[in-house]
Chains A and B, each alone.
Chain A
Amino acid sequence: MLVSLNWLQEYIDVSAYKPEELAEIITKTGIEVESVEPVAEDVTGVVVGCVVSCEQHPNADKLSLCQVDVGTETLQIVCGAPNIAEGQKVAVATPGAVLPGNFKIKKTKLRGEVSNGMICSLQELGVDEKDVPAEFSEGIYVFPEDAETGVNAISLLNLDDIIIELGLTPNRSDAMSMAGVAYEVAAAIDGQYQLADEKVTPVEDKTEDHLSVQVEDPEANPYYGAFLIKDVQVGPSPLWMQNRLTASGVRPINNVVDITNYVLLEYGQPLHAFDYNRFESNEIVIRFAKDGEIIKTLDDQERKLSSNHLVITNGEEPHAIAGVMGGAKSEVQEDTSAIILEAAYFAPSVVRESSKDHGLRSESSSRFEKGVDPNRVERAGKRACELLEKYANGKVLSGVASFDQLDRSEKQVTIQTSRINDRLGTEISNEEIQDILRRLQFSYEQEGEEFKVTIPTRRGDVVLFEDMLEEVARIYGYDRLPFTLPEGSSQAGGLSLYQQLKRKTKAYFEGAGLNETITYSLTHESKATMLMSPEIEQEAKAPVGLAMPMSEDHSHLRLSILPEMLESLSYNVARKQHDIAYYELGTVFVSEEEQVTAQPNEVLRAAGALTGTWHTNPWQQEKKDVDFFVVKGVVEGLSEHLNIPFTYEKAKLSHMHPGRTAVVKAGDEIVGFIGQVHPKLQKELGLKETYVFDLNAEKLFTKYSKEEAFQTIPRYPSVSRDIALVVDREEAAGDIVSTISEAGAPLVKNVQVFDVYQGENLPEGKKSLAFNLLYLDPNRTLKDKEVEEAHDNILSAVQENHNAEVR
């Protein structure tokens, strides 16, 4: 809502405040002021001049040589505007004048002729292009004939006005009018304001003799009033009205339309004027449209209606979409001589639907949608009649043709001073409450500390005790509330185990050299199911899709974090950032239904992607690229960190390298996978070798157990032995480690692979693996013989199970 300070000043005296001060007060008591802007930058020295003569410039085709009377003298001015003509009243920047951009006007010569000033367009005076009336957009501005020569053109054009922009919350639709703003400002600064009475002088002829109103659905349209105004002369509206419309962001059109718009801004009540003759009926019927019915609206669009759209008809065809836009057929035109003026109350939900379906949000619909003041509907009609009499030569017929089932009753809310104080934590007195209610202009009956408050209908948002609590609090001033801390029952705040584990996991990954990302949950349908972990793939029937996505790229909820993470790797690599190690802790959305009806399971995953160099120290000639075992090391570290043992099994998963991928298991359960991204996908994304992991953090956290008995530090020495084995190349080292651990139990405490070799000196298809074994008995020193025995056991076990040959 744009509020002209000059206009507001006519309703309530705010001259004691600087605009910024006033804005601050309004913001603090109720409505946020978003900006305070002058209509135009500082402009001085511009007066109304009368073009006494206008001739062709002797040396230039496109210039005119004008003699302009500016009251005190007559100036010769060269003008380049195409629309300049003798007899016009124009805005003249006299020598010494300053225009926006600190542009100083001086005497000058143009093509050999003296020019003592400049005849200005509105744009040159700092008016926004969009606010300039169409007829003056290509040239100079021309004042109405009655403009007085020599007066200050700046004030005449309202360019010295200041506009306060209010950011209205949905509950404060009462401030969508100058009257509403004036009531609000009066409460804020403790000033005086009352919406003035309308003064109409109707002719004897009665509206009801010419018009009838029929409403088919009173709930959708509880009040419809039609005024009839005859002998109207359509022309420009007075300059002051045009100025106020312009200041409010509404473009002036003609006196009739401008008056309806002016009253809309003044009262907050949208009105509509039909050309009576073009309406072609004495019968106004308000009904829901028939499916498929067509109306051509004021913007020259043919619109197809359906049965949820309320329309104003002449008994046969629609002439307006109720509360949204009028029809082209009965539009007020230059030859219009009689008008039907509509002042109605349309149900908010009805207007909202029409406005939404037709994509039309107008000054009118936005007010109806929030509910207008029922006690101001008819008054607004009268106000428009008053102005039509004054400024359009209208003869207003007496009375109004109407349908009326509108509830205009005022609601009551009871408040108690003590209850207000309990809720606010204040010590407000009865007298202060009285004062606040007086400022709000809410009447009341008081009994002790109890106030029965009558809420004026303009404040339809005040219904409950809590609403009144807010009214009292804001006028009293939030600044005046003291700071206290809650006194109630206290509890120990803290993180749950699950939340602690999330933080622990993040800290681990970061310590391991990975950076955290946050990627989008919504992704392309094809990416939603890409790189799913096998256990997710088993559960998820289909990715969860949006009913109306904004774009294909964000249409479905992810089942894996990896596709979007790889996308961000690709983004970085394209920007020459080649070495990236990322992780993310985030949810994926698993629905077991083909067609989603219930909330999907939200499963927390810990995923990561690494590419490029893992470690480098150039001057020491050290460089290690990311490989499978780097990623596996990261995952193994997490396993140790969470104290959950993992095993790894070779696996073939789509979009993954068939020979470099493994599923990760905890016990018998699959909890994720690791491996290299399939080279085809790498290439598509412009990535070099890229390795990923994706773990089911949700499941891992449930397996986590903090209670671990303390293990005594061994007091006896351990014995270290090595074994070198030659096995088939396909034998998995991990399986052999398991065999060794089992066969060597309980003495073997640790088995470590320390060499892997294949190639020269070994038979085709064989490889050599070397292991270091650690024997330990925590209770005594081991004897050589015991170690020998255990070692022999191990050797026969690996020979038997893995066809291993001891080297």
Chain B
Amino acid sequence: MKERLEQLKQEALEKVTQAENIQSLKDVRVEYLGKKGPITEVLKGMGKLSKEERPVIGQLANEVREEVANAIETKQSRLEDEALERQLEEESIDVTLPGRPVQVGGPHLLTSIIEEIEDLFIGMGFEIKEGPEVETDYYNFEALNLPKGHPARDMQDSFYITEELLLRTHTSPVQARTMGKKNGSEPVKMICPGKVYRRDTDDATHSHQFTQIEGLLVDKNVRMTDLKGVLNTFAKQMFGEDRDIRLRPSFFPFTEPSVEMDISCKVCGGEGCSVCKRTGWIEILGAGMVHPNVLEMAGYDPKEYTGFAFGMGPERIAMLKYGVDDIRNFYTNDIRFLEQYHKA
């Protein structure tokens, strides 16, 4: 019997080795390890054996059984691995084909610039204020020290609706409105971005509609050096730490003294080039100390309260920062223009 078992083992292992697929392996299992298989048969015939032989043969039979089962299992897992490998090989794809596009839109370049400036001033403790685009003559001009008959408010420059209503020509009326709500006693620290309108024929450098950002700080003891400090912080954050600023005298009816702020030219580093018209400086914004008449009209005592204001054009900043060469680009909404600046 012993020989018979050894022989069966050899046979079975031989067949396992020969099995080429999972089915034939299954057949081997059924053939040798099944209930009607030869090993079971051997075990069934154990009754005929002597008491002494029985445990020896029984153990041997179990060992053979186990050995064959192990061999089948090992082979099976190998065959399965091979099958999976073949399958995965077949599933292989061309990873260089393009991915499924995810459509993402983006902000208008002017919005990006305005929000960048907003965030910058919010960081310095400024609020954002907004005001109407159709303004009264009073807030657009009179409250800003531009009385009737002042040359700067010529009908030619503004879009009037009635004698008393017009499209605001600057965001400055928001200053007057905001100050007016404070009863002459609270400080104001705000910026106001928005659309403004002027009677200009649209061309590469003029647009009848454009945007502005106005800033205002009114408090006790505000000094001109504070204006310089705030503008310097703004310029360095907006245009780069390596840029310098300078103030030079200018004129606005609602500030006195009035200045214009230049930043050093990025292209030539201040040496002078065609971009900065050989001056080394590029004009960025207008500013000044709030005119006493403006403070007074808003209810503040100009002896007690002082302040500074500044105003800039996001279009100009965009044109300088990104080299946009025609202001009309901002308003034609050509998709090829808009999409260029989504990372801006």
Contacts and interface: CB of A to CB of B under 8 A. Distances in A.
Interface in B114-173: 115, 118, 121-128, 130, 132-136, 149, 151-152, 154-155, 159-162, 164-165, 167
Interface string A513-553: 11111111110000000000000000000001111111000
Interface in A475-505: 478-479, 481-496, 499, 503
Contacts, number: 247
Contacts of B224: 423-425, 473, 481
A28 B246 contact: yes
B50 interface: no
B225 A546 contact: no
B306 to A, nearest CB: 7
B106 interface: yes
A517 B228 contact: no
Contacts of B247: 478-479, 481
Contact of B100 (A29, A470, A474, A620): A620
A544 B197 CA distance: 15
Given A170-B251, A503-B115, A470 B128 contact: no
Nearest to A484: B225
Interface in A579-607: 580-583, 587, 589, 596-600, 602
Interface residues of B, number: 89
A513 B103 CA distance: 5
Contact of B121 (A422, A485, A493, A580): A493
Contact of A599 (B121, B165, B292, B330): B165
A506 B111 contact: yes
B289 A493 contact: no
Interface string B257-277: 111100000000000000001
A155 interface: no
A510 interface: yes
A517 B329 CA distance: 11
Contacts of B187: 488-489, 491
A245 B154 CA distance: 30
A470 B133 contact: no
Contact of B251 (A169, A546, A581): A169
B101 interface: yes
Given A479-B246, A484-B223, A469 B335 contact: no
A474 B105 contact: no
A598 B134 CA distance: 10
B205 interface: no
Contact of A424 (B97, B223, B246): B223
A28 B127 CA distance: 32
A217 interface: no
B206 to A, nearest CB: 11
B161 A545 contact: yes
Contact of A554 (B100, B123, B208): B208
CB-CB nearest 8 A-B residue pairs = A425-B225, A425-B223, A169-B251, A470-B257, A513-B103, A488-B219, A568-B333, A478-B247
23 contacts: A27-B248, A28-B248, A32-B250, A423-B306, A425-B226, A426-B225, A466-B291, A473-B257, A478-B246, A487-B221, A499-B128, A510-B104, A510-B107, A518-B111, A520-B208, A521-B167, A521-B197, A521-B209, A522-B208, A522-B209, A550-B208, A571-B332, A616-B101
Interface of B: 97-98, 100-101, 103-108, 110-111, 115, 118, 121-128, 130, 132-136, 149, 151-152, 154-155, 159-162, 164-165, 167, 187, 189, 195, 197, 199, 201, 208-209, 217, 219-226, 228-230, 232-233, 246-251, 256-260, 277-279, 289, 291-292, 306, 330-336, 338-339
